[in-house]
């Protein structure tokens, strides 16, 4: 970009560019407070709205976060590294460990909201599980929180006739989770398929995940299959994109 092109850009974008460069160079470290609106107004001789827009650019990019009553700070990014393949290995949940434990290492991932019930399968769920439309399905809805921040919404669907009366219909499914309980029923998954896409969040998702304005979500739909190829679970996950790194490590 030439100096002339830069001069044509709105002033708030040029201020954001300078702050971004300072963050990337380390002049502002993770956790540091950025210049506030009053500071930017004085330094750049701009109106408050211009200063506010500059800081909003950095927040929308996920580089900064606002703290109520304290200002805007460089975001401390310690991502959840979602290891897509090893987290689903049978020797993990088969030995009583949660699939989520592969993501968090020494941090504590907490389920602070959980609902379990039955409903009728709509066309999407029925098709994924090879059920008749309207067939009863067990629904497990959860919200996961890490470091006091909601990071993931998860909804699992399973045939109610398959899991009714088992710990899968309880809030706590026990060691190894749903897959370990399915294995005990003789329907343990041996293959998984995940589909990933991104979009902007709904208002409900923004609220439940406490998302900064402009933050997209990652949608992961996972289907679990038994050896004969029978789909036994559909898990639809909504991830805060600013909290995750998706990692896939496999041989050529």
How far apart (Å, rounded) are the C-alpha atoms in residues 173 and 157?
14
Residues 8 and 91 in one domain: no
Whether residue 130 is found in the same domain as residue 223: yes
Please say whether the beta carbons of 14 and 21 come within 8 A.
no
**pLDDT value at position 87?**
79
Q: Which is higher by pLDDT, 180 or 3?
A: 180
Report helix, strand or coil for 77.
coil
Q: Is residue 252 part of a domain?
A: no
CA distances from 10 to 5, 28, 34, 50, 132 (A): 11, 23, 20, 9, 56
Domain that holds residue 179: 80-247
Is 68 found in the same domain as 89? no
- State the pTM of this model: 0.79
Count of structural domains within the chain = 2
Domain final residue, candidates 43, 58, 74: 74
Q: Which phi and psi angles does 99 have, rounded to 5°?
A: -65, -25
84 and 68 housed in the same domain: no
Percent of the chain at pLDDT exceeding 70? 97
- Asked if residue 36 belongs to a domain, the reply is yes
Distances (CA, A) of 9 to 1, 100, 115, 245: 11, 45, 49, 32
Predicted pLDDT of residue 25: 93
Q: What would the pLDDT profile of 110-161 be if each residue is shown by its tens digit? A: 999 999 999 999 999 999 999 999 999 999 999 999 888 899 999 999 999 9
pLDDT tens readout for residues 2-30: 555 556 789 999 999 999 999 999 999 99
**For 35-85, how does the pLDDT look when each residue is reduced to its tens digit (9 = 90+)?**
999 999 999 999 999 999 999 999 888 788 888 889 999 988 777 888 787
CB 210 within 8 A of CB 150: yes
Torsion angle of C-alpha atoms 10, 12, 13, 18, degrees rounded to 10: 130
Q: Do both 108 and 210 map to the same domain?
A: yes
67 and 168 co-located in one domain: no
């Amino acid at each position: 970009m030439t100096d002339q092109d830069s001069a044509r850009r709105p002033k708030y974008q040029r201020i954001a560019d300078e702050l971004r460069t300072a963050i990337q160079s380390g002049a502002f470290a993770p956790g540091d407070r950025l210049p506030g609106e009053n500071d930017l107004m004085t330094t750049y001789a701009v109106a408050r709205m211009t200063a506010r827009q500059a800081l909003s650019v950095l927040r929308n990019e996920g580089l900064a976060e606002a703290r109520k009553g304290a200002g805007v700070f460089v975001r401390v990014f310690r991502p959840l590294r979602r290891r897509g393949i090893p987290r689903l290995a049978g020797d993990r949940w088969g030995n009583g460990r949660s699939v989520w434990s592969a993501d968090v290492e020494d941090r504590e991932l907490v389920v602070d909201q959980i609902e379990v019930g039955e409903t009728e399968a709509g066309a999407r769920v029925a098709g994924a599980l090879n059920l008749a439309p309207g067939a009863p399905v067990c629904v497990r809805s959860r919200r996961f929180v890490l470091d006091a921040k909601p990071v993931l919404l998860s909804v699992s669907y399973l045939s109610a006739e398959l899991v009714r009366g088992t710990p899968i219909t309880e809030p706590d499914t026990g060691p190894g989770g749903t897959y370990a309980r399915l294995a005990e029923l003789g329907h343990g998954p041996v293959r998984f398929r995940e589909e990933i896409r991104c979009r902007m969040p709904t208002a409900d998702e923004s609220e439940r995940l406490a998302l900064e304005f402009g933050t997209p979500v990652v949608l992961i739909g996972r289907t679990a299959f038994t050896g004969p190829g029978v789909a036994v679970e559909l898990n639809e996950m909504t991830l805060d994109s600013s909290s995750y790194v998706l990692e896939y490590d496999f041989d050529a």
